């Protein structure tokens, strides 16, 4: 489909681009009037994100499956589903930013929201990219904006340090990735995924060896985006140093976009030439299994001893990337479906957890666990309750959404015969229960000490958290609606 026709399926991206321009124009207007601080850039960004979601939701009803822009992007249920999810992540990040002390206290708010929207735009492109060039460009776009957002806090050494670490790890990972892509192009002579799939079918045996090496290199880039072991090292520092809304956006948005790329690349680019490319099947499955098991285990074990809530959630998000990878290793539609479901549930509960952490940081100025002591009994009963729901859901306890998510991922694994991996996953969930419960215990069972001041939360700040905790509860019981949505989105367009 050529460029002009493609625009019809390009609504969310166009809306976001317009929103970026609108925020810039507005910011200029404010500067001209000498207004230093204003809510308006954030509100325009919020409206932009909401409009993008609206546009994506309208596309949900379009049954077409098409190549867009001369085989750069793909339009299918899978990409639209991710666009809705990423739009929601963006919306939440903007909303959080509007209520964040860290962000609101800074100058350059206009730039902040511009970069946040740009980052969202890049992730939408990542979800639909079906061409190595577009994939790389959108991934770099997302990374570039994330680096700046991470280092946004002026006068905060941790923030600057996090940005630098992120940049260096990102540079190495994307360097490895584009080198691998050059090998793929050299071996198959094609950059779009369908062409690659056709090219793989023609490969002789030694070339498949080379192709496997290229895949390993490309996996470095994807692995870095979803924060899977061994490319996870940036995550704890970046999550701790970045402003909390950015951390939340990286944890749910960046990870989801990374998974969208990973799934599309392996199920369509590499996988279309047979079940997961008869090509490299054996080493790839083993490699995936290894990564998945290592990611779950390492994330959970490292989270056990964390005292900073952002750091704890960072390690927990690494572990959750591991659970989602289990669905990826299944290498079938059932696995894709499980990952989609899991990422949606993960969005709700993880976002909720970060949101509460932000509210508490706003109120107390602290993010470390001791400052949560007896929180429920000194004015923070509602946020503490919400956080408990999110954490229990993250641990995978029934009857919460996280349980259903894990159930589907593990179920897909069992069906595929990955029993050992599922056992590792279940054991990991048990381990993770320890550190999640530790937080809940600190909030509810520990006595507040004399130096712990009472805290106050405005009810309207808690609206979003209430919404998310309600979703966590409801999705734990009535998940058939989401399941039906996911089922239509799981079939990835294969040219």
Partner 1 sequence: MPVTTAVFYLLAAVTLGSACGVAFGTNILYSAFALMGTFLGVAAIFVLLGADFLGVIQLFVYVGGILVLTLFAVMLTHRIDVQVSNRAVGRLPGLVVVGVVATWMIRVARAARWTEGQPGPPAATTAGIGDAFLGTYVLPFEVASVVLLAALIGAIVVSRKEVKG
Partner 2 sequence: MKFQYVPVLIAFGLGGLVAAVFVAAGMFLGPRRPSPVKEAAFECGNPPSGPAWGRFSVKFYLTAILFIVFDVEVVFMYPWAVLFRPLGVFGLVEMSVFVLVLTVGLVYVWRKGALEWD
Name the site residues for partner 2 (rule: CB under 8 A): 21, 24-25, 27-28, 31-32
Min CB(281)–partner 1 separation in Å: 17
Site membership for partner 1, residue 111 (CB under 8 A):
yes
H/E stretch holding 68: strand 66-68
Only one of the segments 84-92, 133-141, 326-334, 358-366 lies at the binding site for partner 1 (rule: CB under 8 A); that segment is: 133-141
Using alpha carbons only, give the angle 363, 366, 372 rounded to the nearest 5 degrees.
85
Using the minimum distance from each CB to partner 1, give the nearer residue, 29 or 186. 186
HSE-up of residue 298 (Cα within 13 Å, Cβ side): 18
Could you say which DSSP state residue 73 is in? E
Of 181-189, 218-226, 399-407, 419-427, which part binds partner 1 (CB under 8 A)?
A: 181-189
Give the Cα-Cα-Cα angle 76, 268, 494 (nearest 5 degrees): 50
Instruction: Establish if 17 lies at the interface with partner 1 (CB under 8 A).
Output: yes
Please state the closest distance from residue 297 (CB atom) to partner 2, in A: 42
Which is it for the CA torsion 146, 148, 153, 157, positive or negative? positive
- Give whichever of 32 and 459 is closer to partner 2, judged by the CB atom: 32
> Among 2, 19, 22, which Cα is nearest to 11's?
19
Query: Using CB distances below 5 to 8 A depending on partner kind, what does residue 440 bind out of partner 1, partner 2, none?
Result: none
Is residue 138 within the footprint of partner 1 (CB under 8 A)?
Answer: yes
Short-list 414, 415, 405, CA closest to 324: 405
- Answer for which of 91, 98, 162, 203 binds partner 1 (CB under 8 A) is 203
Residue 7 or 332: the one with the smaller Cβ distance to partner 2 is 7
Using the rule CB under 8 A, which residue among 134, 302, 356, 465 binds partner 1?
Answer: 134
The CB-of-24 to partner 2 minimum distance in angstroms stands at 5
Q: Based on CB atoms, which residue is closest to partner 1, 73 or 326? A: 73
Name which of 183 and 377 has its Cβ closer to partner 1.
183
**Nearer to partner 1 (CB atom), residue 40 or residue 444:** 40
Rama region for 447: left / alpha / beta (φ>0; ψ in -120 to 50; rest): beta
Contacts 24+ apart (CB under 8 A), 360-365: 360/309, 360/455, 361/101, 361/102, 361/244, 362/99, 362/100, 362/101, 362/461, 363/455, 363/456, 363/457, 364/453, 364/455
Instruction: Give the one entry of partner 1, partner 2, none that residue 206 binds, where binding means its C-beta sits below a cut-off of 5 to 8 angstroms depending on kind.
Output: partner 1
Binding map of partner 1 across residues 45-84, x = CB under 8 A, - = no contact: -----------------------xxxxxx-----------
Which CB, 145 or 289, lies closer to partner 1?
Answer: 145
Residue recorded with tokens 């999550």: 239
- Using CA atoms, how far residue 404 sits from 260, 396, 485, in Å, is 21, 8, 15
Helix/strand/coil (H, E, C) string of 441-493? Answer: HHHHCCCCCCCCCCCCCCHHHHHHHHHHHHHHHHHHHCCHHHHHHHHHHCCCC
Nearest to 228 by CA among 323, 138, 144: 323
Contacts of partner 1 in 90-109 (CB under 8 A): 107-108
Q: How far is the CB of 316 from partner 1 (least distance, A)?
A: 29
CB-CB contact of 389 with 473 (8 Å): yes
Q: For residue 487, how many C-alpha atoms fall within 13 Å in the half-sphere facing its CB?
A: 7
Assess contact for 21 and 92: CB atoms under 8 A: no
137, 385, 431, 473: which one binds partner 1 (CB under 8 A): 137
- 262 lies in the binding site for partner 1 (CB under 8 A): no
The least CB distance from residue 20 to partner 2, in Å, is 9
Total residues at interface with partner 1 (CB under 8 A): 48
- DSSP calls for 166-231: HHHHHHHHHHHHHHHHHHHHHHHS--BHHHHHHHHHT--HHHHHHHHHHHHHHHHHHHHHHT-TTS
Q: Rounded distance, CA 120 to CA 148, Å?
A: 14
Among 207, 308, 364, 488, binds partner 1 (CB under 8 A): 207
How far from 272 is each of 66, 199, 331, CA to CA, in Å?
16, 11, 11
Contact pattern from residue 182 through residue 201 relative to partner 1, giving x for each residue in contact according to CB under 8 A and a dash for the rest: ----xxxx---------x--
50 three-state secondary structure: helix
Nearer to partner 2, 111 or 461 (CB): 111
257 binding partner 1? (CB under 8 A) = no
Minimum separation from the CB atom of position 28 to partner 2 (A): 5
In the set 140, 161, 415, 446, which binds partner 1 (CB under 8 A)? 140
Supply the minimum distance, in Å, between the C-beta of residue 70 and partner 1: 5
The site partner of 187 among partner 1, partner 2, none (C-beta below 5 to 8 Å per kind) is partner 1
Phi, psi of 67 (to 5 degrees): -80, 140
Q: Which does 55 bind (CB under 5 to 8 A by kind): partner 1, partner 2, none?
A: none
Q: How far is the CB of 171 from partner 2 (least distance, A)?
A: 17
In angstroms, give the least distance from the CB of 242 to partner 2. Answer: 22
Interacting residues with partner 1 (CB under 8 A): 3, 6, 17, 20, 24, 68-73, 107-108, 111-112, 114-115, 118, 121, 125, 133-134, 137-138, 140-141, 144-145, 147-148, 151-152, 154-155, 186-189, 199, 203-204, 206-207, 209-213
């Amino acid at each position: 489909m050529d460029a002009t026709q493609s625009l019809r399926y390009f609504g969310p991206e166009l809306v976001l681009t317009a929103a970026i321009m609108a925020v810039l124009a507005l910011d200029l207007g404010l500067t001209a009037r000498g207004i230093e601080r204003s809510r308006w850039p954030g509100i325009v960004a919020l409206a932009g994100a909401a409009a993008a979601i609206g546009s994506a939701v309208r596309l949900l009803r379009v049954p077409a499956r098409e190549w867009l822009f001369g085989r750069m992007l793909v339009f299918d249920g899978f990409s639209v589903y991710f666009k809705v999810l990423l739009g929601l992540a963006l919306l939440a990040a903007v909303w959080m930013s509007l209520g964040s002390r860290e962000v609101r206290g800074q100058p350059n708010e206009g730039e902040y929201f511009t970069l946040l929207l740009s980052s969202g735009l890049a992730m939408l492109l990542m979800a639909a990219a079906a061409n190595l060039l577009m994939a790389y460009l959108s991934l770099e776009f997302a990374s570039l904006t994330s680096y700046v957002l991470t280092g946004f806090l002026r006068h905060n050494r941790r923030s600057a340090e996090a940005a630098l670490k992120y940049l260096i790890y990102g540079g190495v990972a994307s360097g490895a990735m584009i080198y691998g892509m050059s090998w793929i192009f050299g071996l198959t002579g094609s950059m779009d995924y369908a062409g690659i799939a056709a090219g793989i079918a023609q490969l002789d045996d030694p070339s498949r060896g080379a192709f496997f090496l290229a895949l390993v290199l490309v996996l470095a880039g994807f692995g870095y985006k979803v924060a899977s072991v061994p490319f996870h090292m940036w995550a704890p520092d970046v999550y701790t140093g970045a402003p909390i809304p950015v951390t939340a956006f990286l944890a749910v948005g960046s990870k989801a976009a990374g998974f969208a790329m990973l799934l599309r690349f392996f199920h369509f680019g590499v996988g279309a030439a047979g079940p997961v490319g008869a090509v490299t099947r054996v080493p790839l499955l083993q490699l995936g299994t290894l990564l998945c098991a290592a990611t779950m285990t390492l994330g959970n074990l490292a989270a056990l001893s964390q005292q900073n809530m952002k750091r704890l959630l960072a390690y927990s998000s690494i572990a959750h990337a591991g659970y989602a990878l289990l669905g990826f290793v299944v290498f079938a539609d059932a696995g894709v479906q499980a990952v989609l479901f899991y990422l949606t549930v993960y969005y709700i509960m993880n976002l909720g957890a970060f949101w509460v952490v932000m509210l508490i940081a706003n109120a107390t100025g602290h993010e470390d666990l001791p400052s949560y002591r007896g929180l429920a009994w000194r004015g923070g009963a509602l946020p503490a309750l919400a956080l408990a729901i999110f954490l229990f859901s993250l641990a995978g306890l029934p009857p919460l959404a996280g349980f259903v998510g894990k159930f589907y991922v593990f179920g897909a694994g069992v069906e595929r015969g990955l029993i050992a991996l599922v056992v590792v996953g279940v054991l990991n969930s048990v381990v993770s229960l320890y550190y999640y419960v530790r937080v809940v215990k600190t909030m509810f069972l520990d006595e507040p000490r004399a130096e712990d001041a009472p805290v106050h939360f405005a009810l309207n700040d808690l609206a979003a958290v209430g919404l998310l905790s309600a979703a966590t509860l409801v999705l734990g019981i009535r998940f058939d609606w989401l399941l039906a949505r996911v089922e239509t989105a799981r079939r990835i367009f294969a040219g």
